[in-house]
Amino acid sequence: MEDTKGLKQDFKIAVHFLRIASKISKTYIPLLFLSSISKAIAPFVNIIMPKFIIDELMGQQRIDKFILLVTVIVVTNGVMNLINKWLDTLVEIKNIEVINGFELHLGKRIMDMDFEKIEDPQVLDLKDRALFPLRNQNVLERMIRSVIDAISQVITILGLVAIISTLNILIILVIVGIVFLNSFIYKKSQQVQYKFYQELTPLNRQFMYYGEITLDFSMAKDIRIYDISPLIMDKIEDYNKVSIGGFGKLFRTIGKFEGLNSISIQVQMAVVYGYMTYKVLKNHIGIGSFTMYVSAATSFSNAISGFLKTYVEFRAMCRYLDLYLELEGIKSSKPVGGRTIGDLQHCTVEFKNVSFKYPRSEEYTLKNISMTINKGEKLSVVGLNGAGKTTFIKLLARLYEPTEGEILLNGVNIKEYDYEEYMKLLSVVFQDFKLMAFSMKENIALEHHEEIEDSKVLEALHKSGLKEDIEKLPLGIKTSIYKAFDEKGIEFSGGQAQKIAIARAIFKDAPIVILDEPTAALDPLAEFEIYSKFNELIGEKTTIYISHRLSSCKFCDKIAVFHKGELTQVGTHEELINHRGSQYELMYSAQAQYYV
């Protein structure tokens, strides 16, 4: 009963992925069926025609009849081979199109996944277990291939049954019995492989990480200064020992299964040849019929064996793909549709008794935060590392939902607004901002880079302080960032990269701009200079500065001090500095040398 349910689930999985494949290419599935039918028909020419040739040679020996029969078999084989090769080529091309299309489908699914899921260790583990077989074991292509082969094999089996049953139906039962034994052996082999590759996944994650370290140019200085290379190589060597030992055990087990399979096939052939020889000796069949029936029996055995192996392969591949369906089935909390914001330029944000703890964590990162951010206000959010500042921004940016309390925009819970429209409110430069190996213009204007005039991108870059650096580049804003795809690409310094990220935020022209410690790697004076200049060019926009330093405090309208997840102080610089012994006064006193 459980196996029946499992088979139904596997068919649902196959239908799901074939439906995706059909959306990627409408001609894909019809082409697969055509290819299957053509391959199923081809073997019958070489099973039936030799009988007539041998009968002619053993009988009347008519040259013209013999030439005709040979011509028919040669021409038919040639035509069928050409057709099958042509169809195989078309299928291979379509396979590439479908696999590439599926990669896009997969990438979009992951990019649309809720941010909180991306940081969840269990989801990360599921993602690795789901994507590794897709990308490294070709399970999608193998599942689709098994469907094609199964259709072809069923058609072949039906035709061969019709031929063999004219002699003796018992031959079919003998062959089927031995083939089922072989399929049981093959299934055991597949189960061993599935278990092994699932156990190998965590090891592969480690190995991929080691490989990334060796290829990561940003690690080069530390590797050389601290001579980290021997440690990395030791890690890789340990991985090799474990994985090679595991593969050795796997291949020895598979070898035993294949040996048993070979023995049972030889027993089957002995039975078939013995029975056919007996029929010839008793003059029940001629040599031509002997050849046809032996060929049909052998082909039937291979077809049944192939079908059962295909079936086991299909089930095994669906087990891998089921992991992807589990990943795909993770529901998004983003509402479909929702309220419109209206005037994006007049927005007041209120945190109302907001508390938050990360998934699978017992500790609250934020505790009962209540605060209002008015339109056009300049807010500095300060606190020591780990105080909850970035989490505060993640909640405002709807990367996470509050565990308790609510965040209001113009008096309405932000969850009620259309997600994409809400995103138009925010330009955020995170501490761990990312630039892509595209041109500078593409990194700033993103999907609109083709229709946007260069002057608008240049204006944003000039405002961020990159004017002089851009003028030195032969290709200007068309210069590629990094050398991943362009040997003329530029490896920008940390400070330059930060200015590009800030330019991207300026270019978006959102009414609320957030700088979440993007300058943390700079010294306090450099950070103060960037924040001061940014404050001048941002104009009347609502601006939030996040820092464990106090660079932005003097020119902000309001300062929010976070400490151990709590909002401990809110006020202006003048108000907070006079609270002797407070968190703000202690931090400012420690850093005053940079700002006085």
User: Cβ(551)–Cβ(545) under 8 Å?
Assistant: yes
Instruction: List the alpha helices (DSSP H) in 282-405.
Output: 287-328, 389-396
Query: First-to-last CA distance in the chain?
Result: 78
CA dihedral 526, 529, 530, 532 (to 10 degrees): 150
Domain 349-435+492-595 has CATH 3.30.465.10: no
For the record, the structure tokens of 289 come out as 């019929």
User: Cβ(467)–Cβ(496) under 8 Å?
Assistant: no
Residue type, 157: I
- Please give the Cα distance from 594 to 596 (Å, whole number): 6
For the record, the structure tokens of 533 come out as 């200049």
| CA 416 to centroid of chain Cα atoms | 30
Q: Are both 2-328 and 349-435+492-595 of the same fold? A: no
Residue reference for tokens 């605060």: 371
Per-residue confidence of the chain (596 residues) as pLDDT tens digits? Answer: 445 567 788 888 888 888 888 888 888 888 888 887 888 777 777 777 777 777 766 766 777 777 787 788 788 888 888 988 898 888 888 888 887 887 787 777 777 777 777 777 777 777 777 777 777 777 877 888 888 888 888 887 777 777 767 766 666 666 667 666 666 776 677 677 667 766 666 666 666 776 677 766 666 667 766 677 777 777 777 777 777 777 777 777 777 766 666 666 666 666 666 766 766 677 766 676 667 767 777 777 777 777 777 887 888 888 888 888 887 777 776 666 677 877 767 788 999 999 999 877 888 999 999 999 998 898 888 888 888 888 898 899 888 889 999 999 988 899 888 888 888 888 888 878 888 888 888 888 888 888 888 888 888 888 887 877 887 888 888 888 888 777 888 888 877 888 888 888 888 888 898 888 765 555 666 666 777 777 777 778 888 888 766 666 777 888 898 988 999 988 888 888 888 777 777 777 776 655 55
| Nearest CA among 265, 4, 18 for reference residue 140 | 18
Alpha carbon distances (Å) from 431 to 160, 191, 501, 517, 548:
68, 46, 10, 5, 12
User: Cβ(382)–Cβ(584) under 8 Å?
Assistant: yes
User: Cβ(101)–Cβ(25) under 8 Å?
Assistant: yes
Q: Look at residue 407 in the predicted model and tell me its pLDDT.
A: 93
Q: Look at residue 182 in the predicted model and tell me its pLDDT.
A: 67
Q: Look at residue 526 in the predicted model and tell me its pLDDT.
A: 64
| Nearest CA among 582, 502, 127, 115 for reference residue 333 | 115
DSSP H/E element including 281: helix 229-281
The DSSP-derived string for 141-172 is HHHHHHHHHHHHHHHHHHHHHHHHTTT-HHHH
Q: Look at residue 594 in the predicted model and tell me its pLDDT.
A: 53
Segments making up each domain of the chain, as ranges: 2-328, 349-435+492-595, 436-491
Sign of torsion over alpha carbons 187, 191, 193, 194: positive
561, β-bridge pairs: 382, 569
- Please give the Cα distance from 147 to 10 (Å, whole number): 12
Under DSSP, is residue 337 helix (H, G, I), strand (E, B) or coil? coil
Instruction: List the alpha helices (DSSP H) in 472-570.
Output: 494-508, 524-538
For the record, the structure tokens of 148 come out as 């094609």
Q: Look at residue 2 in the predicted model and tell me its pLDDT.
A: 46
Number of CB atoms found within 10 A of residue 363's CB: 8
- Please give the Cα distance from 81 to 42 (Å, whole number): 8
> Is 475 exposed, middle or buried (CB count within 10 Å of its CB: 0-12, 13-18, 19+)?
middle
Number of CB atoms found within 10 A of residue 453's CB: 9
The class of domain 2-328 in CATH terms is: mainly alpha
SS (H, E, C) 75-114: HHHHHHHHHHHHHHHHHHHHHHHHHHHHHHHHHHHHHHCC
The DSSP-derived string for 408-474 is EETTEEGGGB-HHHHHTTEEEE-TT----SSBHHHHHHGGGTTTS-HHHHHHHHHHTT-HHHHHT-T
Alpha carbon distances (Å) from 66 to 52, 290, 324:
9, 19, 57
CA dihedral 577, 579, 580, 585 (to 10 degrees): -40
